[in-house]
């Protein structure tokens, strides 16, 4: 399965043969789409970070199971007030042999917040003193609260304690960058031949739409423990195609390559390769809560929630192990808030009876049906779910108009608040409930789109971010989420799962809710 090329056989490639052991282990990966960029601060998709993560090591890194472990920083201290982080960098080198210094880390954090970098996740670094001001262009990057107190010590000052800050530093966005390479120009600096990397691999080939090859970095601090010599990432958009190529043995790891219609077949025939795991992502219907909208009435929102049978959707329509959800923050998230919508334990008959009486109270009935538009982005699965939900609402006398649009149009419609009910898929950027909860807080993306405003909720979310004690923090987050749920501000459907194919010949690949699978831990079994 794993292609083993005996490089020594090629006399002409003596130089390559010197750099690699005689028996090179190559892992071939079906990686979804073509990366838009490999600049770790300009990426926007998982298919990009899967590659950049192998090229750029962070101060704090991921273990195979997705938990945080020391990376370029061998240790760190957090001050008692939770506002000062001191990182001690290990003795490590860039792939060109230059030392990796605290200045490189300062350089990277300033760059990620510089407005011209236009980083998508810059808000995760707003807790750093001056972070927001730098990102909006109101202050220069030098004013950012990060300093190199010596070549191997980095100090970061935060405006307030931030429970998830280490998670933010584990993202490729925060990886130290080679100032000696980038100082003059960052134009196309991540290209084979001109880039310098700090991760377990270096970039050796990039043929757009065809393949990207990364090769083991001999200068990596943990190079001795890296078993893979080379990894080839193929951009294969079509799931069926990457499934085909996995079956022929050409591909060893195929990400997101099980078409929904083929899931049963794969489960039966490729069970030793199929890896299904929870994902920190939620499938829900967003409600437009503005005053002039039909769903401004909480009774209607409750009734719509009551009538939807999540188990039918997860088991009969999706059928890949998705968890029916009566909450907002996916349960696979680290320190996820508890609690659920209060009807979760009721029988379906009780739920329908309550839903009908709520609709009646709200003034709707067979003579005066509620007309609703349900928007979803064009995809077969979304359509199936929408049709099922519309059918479940029918007994309440709700008449649904289904509207589908391509993704760019759909999300614009949501952003502008031009919808009544809209399908939404929210994916976490860090293993923490913050992304989710913050979206419905003041000025969060979901709050702006749906018109949800609750000052108590905002206060609970803000307080939970500042709280460093995990248990107390979870309590605060549970209270916050419960307000959202008791208000029926949205209609949760299920927690996503990831479904990948991994050759049984590989070890060191572990399912985890962050869906991170660093190449450096992969090993081939004989």
Partner 1 sequence: MLSYTLKRLLQAIPTLLIVITISFFLMRVAPGGPFDGERQLPPEIEANLMAAYHLDEPLPMQYLRYMGNLIQGDFGPSFKYKDFSVTELIAQGFPVSLEIGGLAILLALLLGLPLGIAAALKRNSTVDYLVMGTALTGIAVPNFVIAPIFALVFGVLLGWLPAGGWNGGALPNLILPVVALSIQQIAYIARMMRASMIEVLGSHFIRTARAKGLNEGEVIWRHAIRPALLPVVSYLGPAIAGIITGSVVIEQIFGIPGIGRYFVQGALNRDYTLVMGTVVFYGILIVVMNLIVDLLYSALDPQIRYDD
Residues interacting with partner 1, by CB under 8 A? 34, 36-39, 42, 44, 115-120, 122-123, 132, 135-136, 188, 190-191, 207-211, 234-238, 240-241, 244-245, 247-248, 250, 406-409, 411-415, 424-427, 429, 439, 443, 445-446, 448-449
Q: How far is the CB of 63 from partner 1 (least distance, A)?
A: 25
Q: How far is the CB of 289 from partner 1 (least distance, A)?
A: 16
Q: Report the residue number, 185 or 209, with the smaller CB distance to partner 1.
A: 209
Q: Report the residue number, 33 or 507, with the smaller CB distance to partner 1.
A: 33
Q: Which among 342, 238, 248 is positioned nearest to 298, based on CA atoms?
A: 342
Start-to-end CA span in the chain (Å): 11
Task: State the Rg of the chain over Cα.
Answer: 25
Q: Report the residue number, 370 or 501, with the smaller CB distance to partner 1.
A: 501
Q: Report the residue number, 228 or 236, with the smaller CB distance to partner 1.
A: 236
Q: Where are the alpha helices (DSSP H) in 89-238?
A: 102-113, 131-135, 165-169, 179-182
Q: How far is the CB of 282 from partner 1 (least distance, A)?
A: 11
Q: How far is the CB of 439 from partner 1 (least distance, A)?
A: 8
Between the CA of residue 473 and those of 163, 166, 391, 430, what are the distances in Å?
9, 16, 39, 16
Q: How far is the CB of 447 from partner 1 (least distance, A)?
A: 10
As a dihedral over the C-alpha atoms of residue 317, residue 335, residue 121, residue 468, rounded to 10 degrees, the angle is 170
Q: Distance between CA atoms of 179 and 100, rounded to whole angstroms? A: 9
Q: How far is the CB of 250 from partner 1 (least distance, A)?
A: 7
Q: Which among 186, 218, 251, 216 is positioned nearest to 37, based on CA atoms?
A: 186
Pairing between β-strand 490-502 and β-strand 274-287 as defined by DSSP bridges: antiparallel
Q: How far is the CB of 273 from partner 1 (least distance, A)?
A: 15
Q: Report the residue number, 71 or 444, with the smaller CB distance to partner 1.
A: 444
Q: Report the residue number, 215 or 438, with the smaller CB distance to partner 1.
A: 438
DSSP bridge partners of 404 = 376
Q: Report the residue number, 429 or 478, with the smaller CB distance to partner 1.
A: 429
Q: Distance between CA atoms of 189 and 52, rounded to whole angstroms? A: 13
Cα angle for residues 320, 235, 176 (degrees, 5° grid)? 100
Q: Is 324 helix (H, G, I), strand (E, B) or coil?
A: strand
């Amino acid at each position: 399965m794993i292609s083993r090329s005996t490089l020594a056989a090629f006399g002409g490639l003596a130089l390559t043969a010197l750099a690699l052991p005689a028996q090179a282990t190559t892992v071939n990966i079906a990686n979804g789409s073509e990366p838009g960029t490999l600049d770790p601060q300009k990426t926007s998709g998982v298919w990009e970070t899967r590659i950049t993560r192998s090229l750029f090591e962070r101060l704090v890194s991921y273990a195979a199971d997705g938990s945080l472990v020391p990376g370029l920083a061998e240790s760190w201290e957090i001050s008692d007030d939770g506002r000062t982080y001191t990182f001690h960098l290990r003795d490590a080198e860039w792939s060109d042999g230059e030392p990796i210094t605290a200045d490189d880390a300062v350089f990277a954090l300033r760059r990620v917040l510089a407005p011209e970098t236009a980083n998508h996740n810059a808000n995760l670094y707003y807790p750093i003193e001056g972070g927001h001001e730098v990102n909006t262009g109101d202050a220069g990057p030098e004013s950012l609260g990060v300093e190199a107190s010596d070549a191997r010590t980095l100090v970061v000052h935060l405006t307030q304690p931030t429970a998830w800050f280490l998670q933010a530093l584990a993202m490729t966005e925060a990886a130290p960058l080679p100032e000696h390479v980038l100082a003059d120009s960052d134009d196309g600096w991540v290209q084979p031949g001109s880039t310098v990397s700090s991760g377990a691999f270096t970039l050796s080939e990039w043929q757009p739409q065809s393949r990207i090859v990364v090769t083991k970095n001999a200068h990596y601090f943990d190079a001795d423990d890296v078993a893979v010599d080379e990894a080839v990432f193929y951009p294969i958009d079509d799931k069926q195609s990457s499934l085909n190529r996995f079956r022929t043995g050409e591909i060893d790891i195929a990400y997101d390559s099980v078409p929904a219609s083929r899931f049963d077949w794969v489960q039966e025939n490729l069970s030793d390769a199929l890896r299904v795991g929870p994902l920190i992502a939620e499938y829900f219907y967003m409600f437009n809560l503005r005053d002039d909208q039909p769903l401004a009435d909480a009774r209607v929102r409750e009734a719509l929630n009551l009538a939807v049978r999540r188990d039918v959707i997860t088991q009969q329509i999706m059928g890949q192990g998705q968890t029916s959800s009566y909450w907002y923050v996916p349960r696979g998230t680290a320190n996820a808030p508890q609690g659920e919508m209060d009807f979760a334990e009721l029988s379906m008959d009780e739920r329908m009876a309550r839903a009908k009486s709520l609709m009646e109270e709200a003034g709707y009935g067979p003579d005066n049906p509620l007309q609703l538009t349900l928007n979803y982005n064009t995809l077969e699965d979304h359509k199936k779910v929408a049709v099922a939900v519309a059918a479940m609402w029918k007994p309440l006398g709700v008449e649904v108009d289904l509207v589908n649009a391509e993704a760019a149009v759909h999300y614009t419609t949501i952003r502008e608040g031009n919808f009544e009910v809209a399908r939404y898929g929210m994916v976490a950027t860090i293993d923490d409930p913050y992304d989710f909860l913050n979206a419905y807080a003041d000025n969060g993306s979901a709050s702006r789109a749906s018109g949800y405003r609750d000052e108590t909720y905002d206060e609970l979310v803000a307080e939970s971010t500042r709280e460093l004690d995990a248990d107390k923090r979870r309590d605060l987050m549970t209270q916050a989420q419960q307000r959202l749920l008791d208000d029926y501000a949205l209609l949760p459907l299920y927690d996503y799962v990831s479904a990948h194919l991994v050759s049984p010949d590989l070890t060191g690949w572990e399912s985890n809710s962050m869906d991170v699978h660093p190449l450096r831990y992969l090993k081939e079994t004989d």
